[in-house]
């Protein structure tokens, strides 16, 4: 596995690979890799000739400085995991390499309603920061295919929007890889490292609440289901930001379902001081 810290080095490698007619697949991460990330790399290896993974904890998408400081860093384990999964190239830059002109937003991305709902509402500015770093990474790597996890469902819809907004990205093929879960149903997340064993067991309530919605959904009103799921979480001690049923493409909330439009259920809740998110396709 080749490790590149500089933009010039990764671009030189990719340029050489392209001259050999090889396709470039890209998996952007913030490190603290787990099986969910590795599933993205496996998909990338399957669908691309060259797999590029980036590890970069992006400061512009954290609206809580404490959250940024607490984000887990496990680079030695990450390197070993990538080696075992036959990653071709790791791009591991510092902040100055990604943002040579500083971390202030260089432009505003027209994300429409996507950045006012759910994560956009509770983390103002978050998706602008996500778009800023993904725009920069895509411009550096120029991938043919990119791989993101369904676990961050709203982020996936934002990246789709970014690709549509930027003409330079029009040929990028986006793959959304299903969420990887522990045997308990808990969605794998780097934030799980901050949970105790007892908290990890309790955190499965989020998955159970999503399953309840999925198994109970039928044409008609949806608010009673989301209210019951919220109650389930609060009874177990969660502080709930939202439990929602939404259009699976636009993410606009659906309070009355016609039985036809595609749906996704979304949950964000705090367990102690750790904020967890999860989702489930309903139809």
Half-sphere exposure (Cβ direction) of 6: Cα atoms closer than 13 Å: 3
d(CA 143, CA 174): 10
When pLDDT is cut at 50, 70 and 90, the band that residue 46 belongs to is very high
Has residue 142 been placed in a domain? yes
Has residue 250 been placed in a domain? yes
Answer yes or no: do 172 and 194 share one domain.
Answer: no
Answer yes or no: do 163 and 76 share one domain.
Answer: yes
pLDDT digits (tens, 9 = 90+) for 138-188: 999 999 999 999 999 999 999 999 999 999 999 999 999 999 999 999 999
Q: Token pair 């060259």 is at which residue?
A: 50
Question: In this structure, what CATH number is given to the domain that contains residue 95?
Answer: 3.40.50.620
| Residues facing residue 145 across a β-bridge | 25, 173
pLDDT digits (tens, 9 = 90+) for 71-110: 889 999 999 999 999 999 999 999 999 999 998 888 999 9
Cβ proximity of 48 and 23 under 8 Å:
yes
Which among 152, 177, 202 is the end of a domain? 177
Question: In this structure, what CATH number is given to the domain that contains residue 209?
Answer: 3.30.1300.10
Tell me the average pLDDT of the chain. Answer: 96
pLDDT at 64: 81
Residues counted in the chain? 283
Answer yes or no: do 17 and 109 share one domain.
Answer: yes
Known binding site for (R)-pantoate: residues? 61, 155
- Taking 90 as the threshold, does the pLDDT of residue 276 lie above it? yes
Answer yes or no: do 142 and 253 share one domain.
Answer: no
Helix (H, G, I), strand (E, B) or coil at 198: helix
Answer yes or no: do 201 and 154 share one domain.
Answer: no
d(CA 26, CA 83): 16
Q: Of residues 37, 126, 247, 255, which has the active-site annotation?
A: 37
Which among 130, 154, 177 is the end of a domain? 177
pLDDT at 105: 81
Known binding site: residues? 30-37, 61, 149-152, 155, 180, 188-191
37 is catalytic: yes
pLDDT-wise least confident of 4-8, 42-46, 67-71, 94-98: 67-71
pLDDT at 95: 96
Q: Which domain holds residue 107?
A: 2-177
Number of structural domains the chain divides into: 2
Which among 110, 144, 177 is the end of a domain? 177
Pairing of strands 274-281, 239-247: unpaired
Pairing of strands 50-55, 89-91: parallel
């Amino acid at each position: 596995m080749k490790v590149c810290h500089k933009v010039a080095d990764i671009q030189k490698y990719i340029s050489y690979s392209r001259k050999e007619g090889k396709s470039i697949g890209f998996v952007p991460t913030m490190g603290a890799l787990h099986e969910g990330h590795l599933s993205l790399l496996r998909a990338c290896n399957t669908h691309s000739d060259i797999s590029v993974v980036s590890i970069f904890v992006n400061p512009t998408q954290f609206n809580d400085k404490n959250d940024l400081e607490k984000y887990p860093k496990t680079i030695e384990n990450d390197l070993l995991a990538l080696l075992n999964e036959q990653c071709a190239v790791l791009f591991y830059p510092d902040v100055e390499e990604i943002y040579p002109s500083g971390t202030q937003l260089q432009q505003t991305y027209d994300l429409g309603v996507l950045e006012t709902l759910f994560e956009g509402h509770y983390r103002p500015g978050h998706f602008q920061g996500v778009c800023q770093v993904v725009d920069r990474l895509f411009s550096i790597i120029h991938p043919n295919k990119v791989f993101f996890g369904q676990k961050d469902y709203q982020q996936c819809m934002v990246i789709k929007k970014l690709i549509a907004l930027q003409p330079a990205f029009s040929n990028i093929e986006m793959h959304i890889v299903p969420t990887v879960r522990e045997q308990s149903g808990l969605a794998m997340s780097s934030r799980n490292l901050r949970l105790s064993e007892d908290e990890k067991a309790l955190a499965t309530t989020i998955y159970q609440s999503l399953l309840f919605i999925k198994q109970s959904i039928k044409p008609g009103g949806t608010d009673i289901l989301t209210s019951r799921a919220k109650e389930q979480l609060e009874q177990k001690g969660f502080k709930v930001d939202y439990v929602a049923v939404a259009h699976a493409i636009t993410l606009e909330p659906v309070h009355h379902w016609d039985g036809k439009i595609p749906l996704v259920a979304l949950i964000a809740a705090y367990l102690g001081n750790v904020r967890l998110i999860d989702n489930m396709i309903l139809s």
